Amino acid sequence: MNKAELFEFLDSWNQEDKAKDGYKPINSYQLHAYFIGIGFYLKWYLSKNDFIAIAKELDYDLEAGQGDKILFTYGDQNVELELQPQE
């Protein structure tokens, strides 16, 4: 995963292509998730190499953050990227 692929997915998830006059429909999957709780996050586990690479692309300071998680908001969506736990 890279930044362009991630943002392309998030634009699709947020239905940016269906926006008109500043409004867009809510994704039915998002709506179901929000019914359960408003703290819904899209989350991916990434290998160490992929995690470090996307952190650099996002200009995320791993030293200042949690080190194994990247949390951010894109549009109206909460996103979490986490380093894959070692097995």
pLDDT score of 87: 57
Q: Is the pLDDT of residue 65 over 80?
A: no
How far does Cα 46 stand from its chain's mean position? 12
Angle subtended at Cα 13 by Cα 33 and Cα 38, rounded to the nearest 5 degrees: 25
In a domain, 43, yes or no: yes
In a domain, 61, yes or no: yes
- The residue range of the domain holding 11 is 3-16+27-83
**Domain count across the chain:** 1
Share of the chain above pLDDT 70, in %: 98
Write out pLDDT tens, residues 21-63.
878 777 788 888 888 888 889 999 999 999 999 999 999 988 8
pLDDT score of 55: 93
Across the range 69-87, mean pLDDT stands at: 89
pLDDT score of 81: 96
